[in-house]
Protein backbone atom coordinates (compact mmCIF):
# COMPACT_ATOMS: atom_id res chain seq x y z
CA UNK A 1 0.00 0.00 0.00
CA UNK A 2 1.10 3.55 -0.74
CA UNK A 3 2.29 5.56 2.26
CA UNK A 4 -0.17 8.08 3.70
CA UNK A 5 0.95 11.68 3.22
CA UNK A 6 1.03 14.03 6.18
CA UNK A 7 -1.78 16.10 4.63
CA UNK A 8 -3.97 13.03 4.23
CA UNK A 9 -3.16 11.95 7.77
CA UNK A 10 -4.37 15.34 8.99
CA UNK A 11 -7.55 14.99 6.90
CA UNK A 12 -8.55 11.68 8.47
CA UNK A 13 -7.38 12.45 12.01
CA UNK A 14 -10.89 13.69 13.03
CA UNK A 15 -12.36 10.33 11.95
CA UNK A 16 -10.03 8.53 14.33
CA UNK A 17 -11.14 10.91 17.09
CA UNK A 18 -14.78 10.13 16.30
CA UNK A 19 -14.07 6.40 16.36
CA UNK A 20 -12.02 6.85 19.54
CA UNK A 21 -9.43 4.60 17.98
CA UNK A 22 -5.97 5.44 16.64
CA UNK A 23 -4.70 3.14 13.89
CA UNK A 24 -1.25 1.68 14.37
CA UNK A 25 -1.06 1.40 10.59
CA UNK A 26 -2.79 4.39 9.05
CA UNK A 27 -2.47 2.85 5.59
CA UNK A 28 -5.19 0.39 6.55
CA UNK A 29 -7.67 3.16 7.32
CA UNK A 30 -6.74 5.07 4.17
CA UNK A 31 -7.29 1.95 2.07
CA UNK A 32 -10.71 1.46 3.69
CA UNK A 33 -11.63 4.99 2.62
CA UNK A 34 -10.45 4.56 -0.97
CA UNK A 35 -13.27 3.88 -3.43
CA UNK A 36 -12.50 1.93 -6.59
CA UNK A 37 -13.46 4.95 -8.73
CA UNK A 38 -10.56 6.87 -7.19
CA UNK A 39 -8.15 3.97 -7.60
CA UNK A 40 -9.12 3.47 -11.24
CA UNK A 41 -8.78 7.16 -11.97
CA UNK A 42 -5.52 7.81 -10.14
CA UNK A 43 -3.61 4.58 -10.43
CA UNK A 44 -5.05 1.20 -11.39
CA UNK A 45 -2.52 -0.52 -9.14
CA UNK A 46 -3.74 1.52 -6.14
CA UNK A 47 -5.54 -0.66 -3.61
CA UNK A 48 -9.20 0.20 -3.00
CA UNK A 49 -11.54 -0.87 -0.23
CA UNK A 50 -13.50 -3.80 -1.68
CA UNK A 51 -11.45 -6.51 0.05
CA UNK A 52 -11.80 -4.74 3.39
CA UNK A 53 -15.51 -4.38 2.68
CA UNK A 54 -15.71 -8.16 2.35
CA UNK A 55 -13.82 -8.65 5.61
CA UNK A 56 -15.80 -5.99 7.47
CA UNK A 57 -19.09 -7.59 6.53
CA UNK A 58 -18.00 -10.75 8.36
CA UNK A 59 -16.66 -8.78 11.33
CA UNK A 60 -19.98 -6.95 11.80
CA UNK A 61 -21.88 -10.24 11.42
CA UNK A 62 -19.80 -11.78 14.20
CA UNK A 63 -20.24 -8.78 16.52
CA UNK A 64 -24.01 -8.69 16.02
CA UNK A 65 -24.40 -12.47 16.24
CA UNK A 66 -22.40 -12.71 19.46
CA UNK A 67 -24.34 -9.87 21.07
CA UNK A 68 -27.69 -11.33 20.03
CA UNK A 69 -26.88 -14.76 21.43
CA UNK A 70 -25.69 -13.27 24.73
CA UNK A 71 -28.56 -10.78 25.17
CA UNK A 72 -31.51 -12.61 23.61
CA UNK A 73 -30.89 -16.22 24.48
CA UNK A 74 -34.60 -17.12 24.41
CA UNK A 75 -35.13 -15.95 20.83
CA UNK A 76 -35.25 -18.62 18.14
CA UNK A 77 -32.49 -18.93 15.57
CA UNK A 78 -34.86 -17.66 12.88
CA UNK A 79 -35.68 -14.53 14.88
CA UNK A 80 -32.02 -13.84 15.59
CA UNK A 81 -31.23 -14.20 11.89
CA UNK A 82 -33.96 -11.71 10.98
CA UNK A 83 -32.68 -9.14 13.48
CA UNK A 84 -29.09 -9.55 12.27
CA UNK A 85 -30.15 -9.15 8.65
CA UNK A 86 -32.08 -6.00 9.55
CA UNK A 87 -29.08 -4.46 11.30
CA UNK A 88 -26.28 -5.49 8.93
CA UNK A 89 -27.83 -4.18 5.74
CA UNK A 90 -27.22 -1.27 3.41
CA UNK A 91 -29.78 1.08 4.92
CA UNK A 92 -28.62 0.68 8.53
CA UNK A 93 -24.92 0.67 7.71
CA UNK A 94 -25.31 3.82 5.60
CA UNK A 95 -27.09 5.44 8.53
CA UNK A 96 -24.19 4.52 10.83
CA UNK A 97 -21.76 5.95 8.27
CA UNK A 98 -23.67 9.24 8.18
CA UNK A 99 -23.60 9.46 11.99
CA UNK A 100 -19.80 9.45 11.93
CA UNK A 101 -19.68 11.66 8.79
CA UNK A 102 -17.76 8.99 6.93
CA UNK A 103 -18.59 10.45 3.52
CA UNK A 104 -16.35 13.47 3.87
CA UNK A 105 -13.27 11.29 4.39
CA UNK A 106 -13.73 9.12 1.29
CA UNK A 107 -11.41 9.20 -1.69
CA UNK A 108 -13.67 9.18 -4.75
CA UNK A 109 -13.14 9.58 -8.48
CA UNK A 110 -14.14 12.94 -9.95
CA UNK A 111 -17.25 11.55 -11.62
CA UNK A 112 -18.43 9.71 -8.52
CA UNK A 113 -17.78 12.75 -6.37
CA UNK A 114 -19.66 15.05 -8.76
CA UNK A 115 -22.68 12.72 -8.80
CA UNK A 116 -23.09 12.87 -5.02
CA UNK A 117 -21.16 9.74 -4.18
CA UNK A 118 -20.31 10.96 -0.69
CA UNK A 119 -23.94 10.51 0.32
CA UNK A 120 -24.85 7.42 -1.70
CA UNK A 121 -26.11 4.74 0.64
CA UNK A 122 -24.36 1.94 -1.22
CA UNK A 123 -20.97 3.67 -1.10
CA UNK A 124 -21.38 4.68 2.54
CA UNK A 125 -22.48 1.22 3.66
CA UNK A 126 -19.58 -0.42 1.84
CA UNK A 127 -17.12 2.08 3.31
CA UNK A 128 -18.46 1.47 6.81
CA UNK A 129 -17.87 -2.27 6.34
CA UNK A 130 -14.41 -1.52 4.96
CA UNK A 131 -13.48 0.58 8.00
CA UNK A 132 -14.68 -2.25 10.23
CA UNK A 133 -12.47 -4.66 8.29
CA UNK A 134 -9.48 -2.33 8.47
CA UNK A 135 -9.90 -1.77 12.20
CA UNK A 136 -10.16 -5.52 12.75
CA UNK A 137 -6.90 -6.01 10.83
CA UNK A 138 -5.24 -3.27 12.85
CA UNK A 139 -6.48 -4.04 16.36
CA UNK A 140 -8.36 -7.33 16.38
CA UNK A 141 -11.92 -8.27 17.24
CA UNK A 142 -11.91 -6.75 20.74
CA UNK A 143 -11.02 -3.32 19.36
CA UNK A 144 -13.63 -3.65 16.63
CA UNK A 145 -16.22 -4.54 19.25
CA UNK A 146 -15.41 -1.48 21.39
CA UNK A 147 -15.75 0.83 18.38
CA UNK A 148 -18.71 -0.60 16.52
CA UNK A 149 -20.89 -2.44 19.03
CA UNK A 150 -22.16 0.77 20.72
CA UNK A 151 -23.48 1.91 17.33
CA UNK A 152 -25.00 -1.46 16.56
CA UNK A 153 -26.65 -2.04 19.95
CA UNK A 154 -29.21 0.76 19.58
CA UNK A 155 -30.50 -0.63 16.29
CA UNK A 156 -30.45 -4.18 17.65
CA UNK A 157 -32.60 -3.20 20.62
CA UNK A 158 -35.13 -1.41 18.42
CA UNK A 159 -35.50 -4.39 16.10
CA UNK A 160 -35.52 -6.89 18.96
CA UNK A 161 -38.44 -5.04 20.55
CA UNK A 162 -40.42 -5.06 17.31
CA UNK A 163 -43.13 -7.68 16.98
CA UNK A 164 -42.30 -8.04 13.31
CA UNK A 165 -39.07 -9.78 14.27
CA UNK A 166 -40.56 -12.12 16.85
CA UNK A 167 -42.41 -15.34 16.19
CA UNK A 168 -43.82 -15.78 19.68
CA UNK A 169 -45.77 -18.90 18.70
CA UNK A 170 -42.58 -20.64 17.61
CA UNK A 171 -40.73 -19.39 20.68
CA UNK A 172 -43.45 -20.62 23.03
CA UNK A 173 -43.85 -23.94 21.24
CA UNK A 174 -40.13 -24.57 21.55
CA UNK A 175 -40.25 -23.67 25.25
CA UNK A 176 -43.35 -25.81 25.95
CA UNK A 177 -41.92 -28.84 24.20
CA UNK A 178 -38.68 -28.48 26.13
CA UNK A 179 -40.25 -27.88 29.55
CA UNK A 180 -43.56 -29.75 29.37
CA UNK A 181 -43.07 -32.19 26.49
CA UNK A 182 -46.24 -30.97 24.81
CA UNK A 183 -47.47 -28.53 22.17
CA UNK A 184 -49.50 -25.43 23.17
CA UNK A 185 -53.07 -25.27 21.90
CA UNK A 186 -54.83 -22.09 20.76
CA UNK A 187 -58.55 -21.37 20.82
CA UNK A 188 -60.65 -18.42 19.70
CA UNK A 189 -62.91 -17.63 22.66
CA UNK A 190 -64.48 -14.43 21.41
CA UNK A 191 -65.01 -12.30 18.32
CA UNK A 192 -65.65 -8.62 18.93
CA UNK A 193 -66.90 -5.82 16.69
CA UNK A 194 -68.47 -5.68 13.21
CA UNK A 195 -67.25 -7.84 10.33
CA UNK A 196 -65.24 -5.00 8.76
CA UNK A 197 -63.39 -4.28 12.03
CA UNK A 198 -63.45 -7.56 13.90
CA UNK A 199 -61.15 -8.28 16.83
CA UNK A 200 -60.35 -11.82 17.94
CA UNK A 201 -59.69 -13.01 21.47
CA UNK A 202 -57.53 -16.12 21.72
CA UNK A 203 -56.32 -18.16 24.67
CA UNK A 204 -53.32 -20.49 24.68
CA UNK A 205 -53.25 -23.54 26.91
CA UNK A 206 -50.83 -26.20 28.04
CA UNK A 207 -52.35 -29.49 29.17
CA UNK A 208 -55.78 -27.83 29.33
CA UNK A 209 -54.53 -24.98 31.54
CA UNK A 210 -54.86 -21.46 30.09
CA UNK A 211 -51.47 -19.77 30.13
CA UNK A 212 -52.06 -16.60 28.13
CA UNK A 213 -54.72 -14.51 26.41
CA UNK A 214 -54.32 -12.16 23.45
CA UNK A 215 -56.26 -9.91 21.10
CA UNK A 216 -55.72 -9.11 17.45
CA UNK A 217 -57.31 -8.01 14.20
CA UNK A 218 -56.77 -11.52 12.86
CA UNK A 219 -56.62 -14.95 14.46
CA UNK A 220 -52.91 -15.14 13.68
CA UNK A 221 -52.22 -11.78 15.34
CA UNK A 222 -54.27 -12.78 18.40
CA UNK A 223 -52.38 -16.08 18.67
CA UNK A 224 -49.07 -14.23 18.56
CA UNK A 225 -50.30 -11.87 21.29
CA UNK A 226 -51.43 -14.80 23.44
CA UNK A 227 -48.08 -16.55 22.99
CA UNK A 228 -46.25 -13.36 23.96
CA UNK A 229 -48.28 -13.11 27.18
CA UNK A 230 -47.60 -16.78 27.90
CA UNK A 231 -43.87 -16.21 27.47
CA UNK A 232 -44.06 -13.21 29.80
CA UNK A 233 -45.94 -15.29 32.37
CA UNK A 234 -43.10 -17.79 32.36
CA UNK A 235 -40.56 -14.94 32.49
CA UNK A 236 -39.05 -16.12 29.24
CA UNK A 237 -38.84 -12.71 27.54
CA UNK A 238 -35.42 -11.20 28.10
CA UNK A 239 -34.99 -7.73 29.54
CA UNK A 240 -33.56 -5.39 26.97
Q: Which of 57, 112, 171, 223 is catalytic?
A: 57
Residue 129 annotated to the active site: yes
Q: What is the dihedral of CA 60, 62, 64, 68, to 10 degrees?
A: 180
Q: Which of 129, 138, 155, 171 is catalytic?
A: 129
Q: How far apart are CA 177 and CA 181, in angstroms?
A: 4
Q: How far apart are CA 73 and CA 79, in angstroms?
A: 11
Q: What are phi and psi of 234, to 5 degrees?
A: -95, 5
Q: How far apart are CA 152 and CA 21, in angstroms?
A: 17
Residue 57 annotated to the active site: yes
CB-count burial class (<10 Å; 0-12, 13-18, 19+) for 171: buried
Catalytic residues: 57, 129
Amino acid sequence: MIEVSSDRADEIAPLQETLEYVFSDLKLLNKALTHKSYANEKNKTLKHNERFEFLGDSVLDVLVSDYLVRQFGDYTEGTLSKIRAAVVNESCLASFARKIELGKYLLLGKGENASGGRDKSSILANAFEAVAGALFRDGGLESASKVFLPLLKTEISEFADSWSFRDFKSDFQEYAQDQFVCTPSYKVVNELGPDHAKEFEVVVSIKNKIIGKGFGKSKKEAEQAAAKIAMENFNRLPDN
